[in-house]
Structure 1
Amino acid sequence: MHRDLALPVLGVLCLLAACSREQPPERVTATAAPDVEWRQHGLDNAETRHSPLAQIDTDNVTDLGLAWYFDYPTARGKEATPLIIDGTIYSTGSWSHVFAHDARTGALKWFYNPEVPRDWAVHLCCDVVNRGVAYQDGHLFFGTLDGRLVSLDADDGSLRWEIQTTDRDKPYSITGAPRVIGDKVIIGNGGAELGVRGYVSAYDVEDGSLHWRFYTVPGDPEKGFENAALEHAAETWGGGPWWEIGGGGTVWDSMAYDPALNLLYIGVGNGAPWNRQLRSPDGGDNLYLSSIVALNPDDGSYVWHYQTTPGDSWDYTATQHMILADLVIDGEERPVLMQAPKNGFFYVLDRRTGEFLTAEPYATVTWASHVDPETGRPVVVEGARYEAAPTGLQLPGPIGGHNWHPMSYHPEHGLVYIPRQDVGWVYAHDDAFEHRPGYWNTGTDSRPAALPDDPAIKDAVLKTVRGTIVAWDPVAMAPRWEVEHAGPWNGGMLSTGGNLLFQGNAEGELVAYRADTGEELWSFDAQTGIVAPPVTYRLDGEQYVAVVAGWGGSLPLVGGEALTAGPIANRSRLLVFKLGSATALPAAEARELVFDPPPQTADADTVAEGKALYLQYCVFCHGDGAVGGGVTPDLRALTPETHAQFQAIVRGGLHWEQGMVGFSDALEEEDVEAIRGYLVDRAHYTLASGDSERPVGAELD
C-alpha cells in the first residue's frame, strides 16, 4: 500500500565529490558508455548509496529481468553489499565466505573460506552474517565472525595476510564491512550483548600491522585511561564495576569519512548489559555508548561526539547507517551528518563539530516525548527506564525503528529513504541477573516481552508491528511519502538517476519504485526474503542491478510471530538483473513443517521453568514462543529422533557444526528436560490453536 503525504518539495544540495561532479543522467550508446563501478561499501565516502546511472529508468524498468544468478552453498542470513571492480563482483556470504564472479556472466572466478569454527556461532547476537569486503589497489579486506581481519589478492583470492583483531578468550565477533582510508583499513567488532568492551582499530593495508585503536568506553579506572577522551567518559559512568562485564559500545557496523575535513565517523552501540541499573547503578550518560564519534583517521584521536541516547537502557544503538551531505537549512548551507538510529529519531548534525541541528521521530516513539531543541537530549517519559516496574509495550524495541539495513540519499529529490519498522518490546529489570561470561547479558527479564497465548492480547500487540519505506525530507524533517510492507525486517535501499528506488523485502521480492512518489513499478519473486541492499553498475554500456538474497539476521532468529509476513524460506543467492533478460529461477520446492509432538509428561511448573530457561538461552536463535523464522529449526517440529537426542544436542553439542554448541556449562539435565517440556507444550498448543496452518519456511538442512 502506498500513502502519499503530499509535503512540499524543498531544495537540498549535495556538494560532496560523489554527487557534485556527476553530469545529469544520460542516455548513451553501448560504445560511448564508460564502465561505472561500485568500489566502496556505501558507493562513496559519504555513504549515499545513490547512483547517477539512468539507463534503467521509470519508463523501461518493466523490461528488467534476471541476467544470471548464483546459489550460495549455505542457507543462513545474507547481508552483504557487493563491490564491482574491473568487471568482477565481490560478495560475502554466511560464515565469512568470500566469492568473486564475472560481473557480466556470473562465472565463479574464485572462492575463499576463512574456516570460521562453526561453534563460534554461540558468540553471535544476530546470525552468521557478513556485510561485505573493502578494496584498494588490487587487494580485498574483510572481517571474520571469529574476529580476524583478512586481506586477499583480488585477482585470485590468495591470502596476503590475516590478523586477529580481538581477544579470542572473549565473545567478540565481526559482521560489519571494513573501510579503507589511505594506508589504513578500519574495522570494528560486535559482542556487547555477551559482555565485551568495544573499540575500533586501524591496520596497515600492506602488512596488517596495528596503527591505532580507539576504545569507546572506559576500562578499569585503577588501570588508568588510554586517553583524555576516555578519562572524561569515565566521569559519566556511575558506580560499577562495569568493566568486569565489559561496558559494551561495540562499533559493529556504520562508518563514514569526510576527506575534506579528514574525519572518520563511527557509530557506537549499546551497553553491556543493556540495563543501565546494572552496569552503572548511580546513573550517568555512559559515554560513548549510543553515540556518533568523530575521529582523526591518521592517529585515531578523538575530535567530537554526539550521544543520541544518553544512559541507554534499551539497546538503542547508534551503529545505524550514517550519510554525509550538504543541506540548505534556514538559508545557510551546512555540511551535515544524518542518521536514523534505533531510538526512532532522525538526527541532523553539523559534521564539522558535532553540533546538534535537529531531530524528529521517523518511527513510532513512546520512550521519549521529543528531543529538546536546545540541549539535543531526548526527554525520557516516566517509567521508560523500567526501574520500578516493566514498561508495558514500548516502541521502538531492541530491533529498533531502523536497524543495520542501509538507507540511501537522493540529492535531486532531497530525500533519505529509511527502511523503518515498528516492533515493540516490554522492558523489565532482571532481579536475578548474574554476569554469565560468553552468554547473553542484557540485564533484562525476557518473560514480560514474550507474546502471550491470549489471542486478543496477542493480536492487539501484533497489530502494532509494521514495516515501511519512509521517504524522509531532512530539511523539512518530515516524511514526504511512505510505502507499507506486510511486516518488518525489509532490505536496504538503492536510489538511482533513473528516478528509481530499489528495495528487497521480507516477503521475498525485489521491488522498484518511483523515487519521487513511491509508486511501485516492477517486482521480482526472489523466493526468499531479502535484507541486503541492492547495488547497480554499468559494463559495456549496459546497466545492471545486483542484490544478495537470503533470509536471516536478528529478527528472523528471535522474532517468532512478530514476523507478520510469516516465516520465509532461506534460498541464498546472488541475483543480477539487466534490461531485456529473462533468466528464470528454478521452481521453489515447498517444504512443510510437521508438528507431531509426543505426549506431554512435564507438569505445569516444569513447563513454566522450561519457558524461563528457553527465554534465557534459546530465544535469540529459535524465536519467541519457539516459532521459527525460517533460518534455524523450528523447535515445535522436533522429530522423535531429535527428542531422543535432545540432551546430546543441547548439553553435548551434537550439532556444533551447524553452530549449535553444547550448554553443559550452563544447563543441567533437568534444565534441558524442562526446556523440552516447554517445546512439547508449544507444539501441542500450535496444533490446538490451528496456527500450524500458517505458511512456513524451509527447515534448516
Structure 2
Amino acid sequence: MDGHDYTAQRYSTLTQIDADNVSGLGLAWFDDLDTYRGVEATPLYADGVLYNTLAWNITTAYDAKTGAKLWTYDPRTPREYGRYACCEPVARGLALWNGKVIIATLDGRLIALDKDSGQPVWTTRVFPEDSQYAFSITGAPRVFAGKVVVGESGGDLGVRGFVAAFDAETGAKLWKFFLAPNPEDKLDGEASDGIMEMMRKTWADTGMWRELGGGANPWDSIAYDPELDLVYVGTGNSNPHARYYRSNNEGDNLFTCSIVALHGKDGTYAWHYQMNPGEEWDWTCTQSMISADLTIDGRLRKVLMQAPKNGFFYVLDRATGEFISARNHVFQNWNEGFGKDGRPITSEKVRYGFDPVLVAPGPGGAHNWFPMAYSPRTKLAYFPAYQSEFVYALQPNWKPQPFRSNSGWGGFTGEAGKKRGELMAEANKIEKTWLTAWDPVKQEVAWKVELPRHGNGGVFVTASDLVFEGTTKQTFAAFDARTGKVLWEYPTQSAPVAGGITYMLDGVQYVAINAGWGGGAAQIERGAGIELPRAPARLLVFKLGGTEQLPPLAKVEAIPNPPPVRGTEAQITQGAQLFAETCSVCHGQNAIGGVKDLRHMTPETHGKFNDIVLKGLYLEKGMANFSDILSPEQAEAIHQYLIARANEDWGRD
C-alpha cells in the first residue's frame, strides 16, 4: 500500500541502512520518465517488482534490482482532461490486490492489470463521461478487504464530492457515499441517503452550491481500520470557495473539510469531525491520515492523526470520532480555541467580505498532500510544513463559469487592490518552510529543519531512525529521526515531491523515490518566477555502494525575443481577464511560469497559437482544445495579452 500497511504510517521495519552507513548510499539504477510534468506517485514494491505511475496514468513494472522494464501500460487518458486537473494531470499512486495492479485514471476509470503481463483484467467507471461536473481523479486508489475505494478531484472547478467502493476482483460497484447534499433536494439511492437530511440542514436554501455542487471532494487520502471496518475519508474544500456566494454566508456546509468515517461493509455513515465549519479559504482535509495507539493522559487510545491545510495537528479517537486534541504547528489567525465538543472557534476577522483581509495559513496550506509519516519507535510524526498568509476578498458581482476555476475571490483592482498589495507585503515576511517532527501526545514540535522553499516532498521513516524526504534544494535527504540532523543528501536535479519507499531484495535494502518537480507547489514557484532549472522527471533507486551517475543538466535555452505589441488596450484587458479565468491554473498567475511559460513562446508557436488553443494541435502534450468555451476573437485577445506580458517582462527573468 502507498502508506505501507493499513496504519498508513509510512514506517519501514528495515534496518540495513542506518545512521552509521547512510552516507554510503549511492544510485543503484534510474529511469528517465520522459516528462517535465509533476510525478507525485509513491512507487509500490512486491515480489521483486517495482510498480510506478506517471502523469496521464502511464504505469510501468520494473525489475526492482536492475531497473529493467518488464511492461508498460498506457490507458490513453484523454489529454483534454488536463483542463480539469487543478495542479497538473498527476497520479499519486497505485493499489495492489491478489495479482492485480489497480490504477485510477484522470478521466474516471478504474483499471485492474495483471501484475505479470500488464494486461487489463477489468475496467469500470467511477464517474460518467458525460457528468455535469468537472470530475477527475488524481489520488491513489486504496484496497481494503477486497474493495477498491476511490475518491475524485475537481473541487476548484465545481463538483459534488463522493467516495465509492468497487469489488477488487470484478470491478463491480459496491457502494457510493456523497459528501455534499443533492442540489435537487432529493435522495440518490446511495449509502449517503441515511445522513442526507442532516447534511442538507447545514447548507443555505439559496446559493451557488446548487449549481457548482458544493465541493467536499476526497481527492487524496483515504484510510482504513480493519478491526473496526471503518473507512476514513478526508474531504476537500468547498465550492465556490467564498461562502457568501456558495451558501449565503450560512451553515457549516457538511462535509467540506472533514474526516468522515464510513462502515466498510456498506458505506453507511459512522461519524465525522469537521475541521473548518463553513470552509471558505481553500483548505482541505485530504492530507495523510495515520492510525496509531497512543497513551494519552494515562490511557491507551486508538487514534487517527492528521495535519491538514489549516495549520493544526489533530488527534481523534478513530472508533468514535471524539476530538482528543489539536494544536497549531505554524502561525495562524483563524482559530480562537476549541469548544468542549472539539468544535473550532473561528475568528470573525477571517470571514472576509469585499474588503481584503489577511488570513493564515494561505490556500497552499500549512501541510498539503505531501505524505506524512509516523514512527512507533520515536513516537513522532514527520511532515513538511509551510507557514504563509494570503489576502482574501470577494469579487463584486461575481458569476461562476462552467468547467473553470470558481472561487468568488476578488479585490484585485482599485482601493481593494491597493490594500491587497500592502497586506501581501506583510504576509511575505512570515513565509517559511520546515521538515517538522511533531509529538502528537504533547502536541508540540520535537524538532524542525528549515528548508529554502515551499514544496518539500513526502516523508517515510525507518526502524533505524532515519527519515527520508525530497527537498526543494533539488536533493533527496536522510535525517536523524530523533534530532533532525542531516545525515546524507543526494543532488537529484529536480525536487522530489512524491513519497518514497524502501524494500529488501536478495539481502540488499533499496530506497526508491520519484524526482519530478510539479503540481501545486511547483506552480507557486513558477508563478513567482523563481523556479530553478531542472532535469526531466526520473525514478531514482539507491543502495549502499551504488555507483550509477546521473547525466549533467542540459543547458537552458535562451528566451526568444517577443513579437511587438499590436493589440488594442481593450483587447489586452479582455485577454487578461480571459487568461485569469481559463489559462492561469496551468500557465501561472499574470502569465508567469506555469507548466509552460507563455511569455517565452517561439515565433513558430506564436504563429500556431489559435490552432493550439482552438483546434487541439498540442492535445497529446496535454494542451486541450478550448473551442467549446472560447471564440476565435477571445483566443486572439488572450494571445495579444500574452504578447503584451512578454514585452513587459522582457529581460527581467
- Whether these two folds match at TM > 0.5 is yes
> What is the 5 A alignment of 1:33-182?
40-170=1-131, 171-182=134-145
Distance, in Å, in 1 between the alignment partners of 2:259 and 2:529 is 30
Q: Deviations over 1:554-589 (max 9, x none)?
A: 23235534475x244351111100001111011111
Quote the offset at 1:523 in angstroms. 0.9
Change (3 A) 1:570 1:307: farther
Instruction: Confirm or deny: 8 A CA contact 1:559 1:623 kept in the other structure.
Output: no
Instruction: Confirm or deny: 8 A CA contact 2:259 2:272 kept in the other structure.
Output: yes
Distance, in Å, in 2 between the alignment partners of 1:47 and 1:365 is 27
Partner of 1:412: 377
User: Aligned pair 1:639/2:605, yes or no?
Assistant: no
Instruction: Confirm or deny: 8 A CA contact 1:395 1:423 kept in the other structure.
Output: yes
Quote the offset at 1:508 in angstroms. 1.4
Distance, in Å, in 2 between the alignment partners of 1:386 and 1:553 is 27
Quote the offset at 1:460 in angstroms. 5.7
User: Aligned pair 1:342/2:305, yes or no?
Assistant: no
Unaligned runs of 5+ in 1: 1-39, 693-701
Distance, in Å, in 2 between the alignment partners of 1:667 and 1:648 is 12
SS at match of 1:191: coil
Partner of 1:486: 452
Partner of 2:620: 657
Distance, in Å, in 2 between the alignment partners of 1:648 and 1:144 is 27
Runs of 4+ with >6 A deviation = 448-452, 454-459
SS at match of 1:651: helix
Partner of 1:288: 255
Amino acid aligned to 2:519 = G
Distance, in Å, in 1 between the alignment partners of 2:381 and 2:417 is 33
Distance, in Å, in 2 between the alignment partners of 1:264 and 1:204 is 15
Distance, in Å, in 2 between the alignment partners of 1:677 and 1:458 is 29
Aligned residue among 459, 472, 493 for 1:527: 493
Quote the offset at 1:543 in angstroms. 0.8
Distance, in Å, in 2 between the alignment partners of 1:624 and 1:243 is 28
User: Aligned pair 1:512/2:478, yes or no?
Assistant: yes
Quote the offset at 1:636 in angstroms. 1.3
Distance, in Å, in 1 between the alignment partners of 2:21 and 2:525 is 38
Change (3 A) 1:603 1:391: farther
TM-score when scaled to structure 1? 0.88
Instruction: Confirm or deny: 8 A CA contact 2:529 2:593 kept in the other structure.
Output: no
Instruction: Confirm or deny: 8 A CA contact 1:198 1:216 kept in the other structure.
Output: yes
Distance, in Å, in 2 between the alignment partners of 1:531 and 1:149 is 24
User: Aligned pair 1:384/2:346, yes or no?
Assistant: no
Quote the offset at 1:467 in angstroms. 2.1
Q: Deviations over 1:124-159 (max 9, x none)?
A: 111111111111111111100100001011111111
Partner of 2:336: 370
Unaligned runs of 5+ in 2: none
Quote the offset at 1:457 in angstroms. 8.3
Distance, in Å, in 2 between the alignment partners of 1:680 and 1:117 is 30
Distance, in Å, in 1 between the alignment partners of 2:448 and 2:352 is 32
Partner of 1:27: none
Quote the offset at 1:670 in angstroms. 4.1
Instruction: Confirm or deny: 8 A CA contact 1:76 1:570 kept in the other structure.
Output: no
Distance, in Å, in 1 between the alignment partners of 2:421 and 2:258 is 39
SS at match of 1:648: helix
Partner of 2:265: 298
Q: Deviations over 1:497-548 (max 9, x none)?
A: 1111110022311011111111111111111121001100111111110001
Change (3 A) 1:131 1:238: same
Partner of 1:238: 204
Q: Which moved more, 1:94-103 or 1:442-451?
A: 442-451
User: Aligned pair 1:252/2:215, yes or no?
Assistant: no
Aligned residue among 395, 402, 405 for 1:440: 405
Q: Which moved more, 1:488-497 or 1:243-252?
A: 243-252
Q: Which moved more, 1:573-582 or 1:220-229?
A: 220-229
TM-score when scaled to structure 2? 0.94
Aligned residue among 180, 194, 199 for 1:217: 180
Quote the offset at 1:235 in angstroms. 0.5
Distance, in Å, in 1 between the alignment partners of 2:349 and 2:13 is 47
Partner of 1:573: 538
Instruction: Confirm or deny: 8 A CA contact 1:508 1:528 kept in the other structure.
Output: yes
Partner of 2:577: 612
User: Aligned pair 1:466/2:432, yes or no?
Assistant: yes
Instruction: Confirm or deny: 8 A CA contact 1:487 1:563 kept in the other structure.
Output: no
Aligned residue among 326, 348, 351 for 2:293: 326
Aligned residue among 426, 430, 433 for 2:395: 430
Change (3 A) 1:576 1:448: farther
Q: How many residues are matched?
A: 646
